[in-house]
A = this chain, B = another copy of it.
Amino acid sequence: MRLALAQLNPLVGDLAGNGARILAACHQVAAQGASLVVTPELSLWGYPPRDLLLRPSLITQQGVVLQQLADALAEELPQLAVLVGIAEPNGAAALPNLFNAVALVQAGRWRVVARKRLLPTYDVFDEQRYFCAASEPSLLELEQGGRRWRLGLTICEDLWVEEELQGHRLAGADPVAELLPHHVDLLLNLSASPFGQAKVALRQSLAHRAATRLSCPVVYVNQVGGNDELVFDGASFVMNPRGGPDAGRAVVCQLACGREQVLTWDAAPCAAPSTPHPDALLLTPVPEPLEQLFRILVLGVADYARKCGFHAALLGLSGGIDSALVAVIAAAALGGERVQGLLMPSPWSSEGSLRDAQALAARLGLTTQIAPIAPLMAGFDAALTPVLAGPPAGLAAENLQSRIRGTLLMAVANQQGQLLLSTGNKSELAVGYCTLYGDMNGGLAVIGDLYKTTVFALCAWLDSPAAGPCRRALGLPADGELVGQAIREKPPSAELQPDQRDSDSLPDYAVLDPILRRYIEHLQSPEALIADGTPAELAHRVMALLRRAEFKRRQAPPLLKIGSRSFGSGWRMPIAAANLEGRLRS
């Protein structure tokens, strides 16, 4: 049986458009002789549809689109069957009243053939808000090439049942174990699994474990593309069981990371396992982590802009490393000629900053404009002096400079129809070293999930010879510096006071970031850090800063999630709560 893995990039909520995308993929693979097309989880909706799932009219429209797809297949590709991810109404009055399901669409008809068992309701996932968990495993029997195929069907989290690989798992059934007695020929998994570091290897390990348990190949089809904060990397594959007929190669079909791809694969009836060998040899080599990260950020920006209808982007270029990195990502995503940098020097900006920003823009082919803010600083001082009995001072004055720049950027973006990209990193967002309605302004916080030390590392990689092929592939200049040594090596500064450095207010990022990681990603307490040697004052101060910046993060733009715990929809903290001492710029 020739299967097609359709790794598609849907537009969320565009039922008709996504249906058309699926039909186009069917045409493509039918010409190659495929008989069954597998699409990602909720492929008709795009993942995550979020509260669009609550609108009954869209559920009705889904039925219409499914029937149109079935009719088109009947007319144009009567031999082809396709598995489509849908939201199935369960007819109950009690809530939630949907299943996260899979429909088999074929020759004028469709029917539900699988329902999801394990519904992720952690981090960014809210599936129990919308869906009921199914109580039975899903089996599909298909007649193909004179043979009856038994397919086990699972949906994303249904495969995530290996506590010791994952660290933890969702309470509930083990859908893989429940398929054992059914002796399936293939296990299919329709996924929408967002990018995360080490996620490609983890998914393959899970699939390999399932393949080995069931003694059959696992066909894993993942969504690709950026949808708001989530970037789906695709990287779909077919995994053989340990010691299968294709010994030494567990991954027998591998799709691309980060782009749409539709590939066919020929399933053969399962042979008995032969020689076992260690997992490590079986998996696809994971791409270099920094390259993978860079490509994901580029995809996230490109898709967010495209899916929101923007053709161009704007950002403030300070001469610092954060805006430099965002400029590089934006140039790779949209083309340098569609990215504009606005330079907004103040009396506290160093000469080097302006020069470095212009040199960077020249390397990337960005257009730039200069709008000095000193006259506006004087204008606000004049307007505020009667109100405050003196000009604003201290943090209020620092915030004001940032807000003047934020206002200039929004005026330019509004007038020119550009997407404003904000340039803050995760370390700043964590401790509140950023200005709400100022440098936080933008439609997308491109590096809002990168700690400052990761920003340094990514820029160092971009400027290294190792990045040459990737830079070339993404249309960036392949030779010489890109970010540039001057930008990479200057001490971080917000330049909101004369001779200001980040280190005046914050610990060195090499000290701060590990503390933040332990608080944020590993949920550790100040006490745990102190027990490990962090000075008590520092541990408590960082925790207080983190808590106190909650109100800023609540109003931050969406960021591109790349880590395990990000300041986005998966970060749900109260604002009016205990531990509110300490504060930086607001």
Contacts and interface: CB of A to CB of B under 8 A. Distances in A.
A414 B437 contact: no
B380 A408 contact: yes
Instruction: Give the interface residue-count category, chain A.
Output: 35 or more
A32 interface: no
B415 A393 contact: yes
Given A55-B523, A403-B410, A132 B415 contact: no
A168 B95 contact: yes
A576 B52 CA distance: 12
B577 A14 contact: yes
Interface stretch (A122-130, A139-147, A212-220, A463-471): A122-130
A388 B416 contact: yes
Contacts of A574: 12-13, 48-50, 52, 227-228
Contacts of A170: 94-95
A107 interface: no
A156 interface: no
Interface string A486-525: 0000000000000000000000000000000000000111
A94 B169 contact: yes
Interface string A22-59: 00000000000000000000000010111110111100
Interface in A542-574: 551, 554-558, 569, 571-574
A374 to B, nearest CB: 10
B383 A371 contact: yes
Number of copies: 2
A303 interface: yes
A85 B578 CA distance: 18
Contacts of A14: 577-578
B580 A309 contact: yes
Nearest to A403: B407
Nearest to A414: B396
19 contacts: A12-B576, A14-B577, A48-B574, A51-B571, A57-B525, A57-B527, A95-B169, A95-B171, A121-B121, A121-B126, A126-B129, A228-B574, A371-B383, A384-B408, A395-B414, A403-B411, A414-B586, A555-B555, A569-B572
Interface of A: 11-15, 17, 46, 48-52, 54-57, 92-96, 121-122, 126, 128-129, 132, 163, 168-172, 226-228, 303-304, 307-309, 342, 369-373, 375-376, 379-380, 382-384, 386-388, 392-396, 399-400, 403-404, 406-408, 410-412, 414-416, 436-437, 441, 443, 523-525, 527-528, 551, 554-558, 569, 571-580, 586
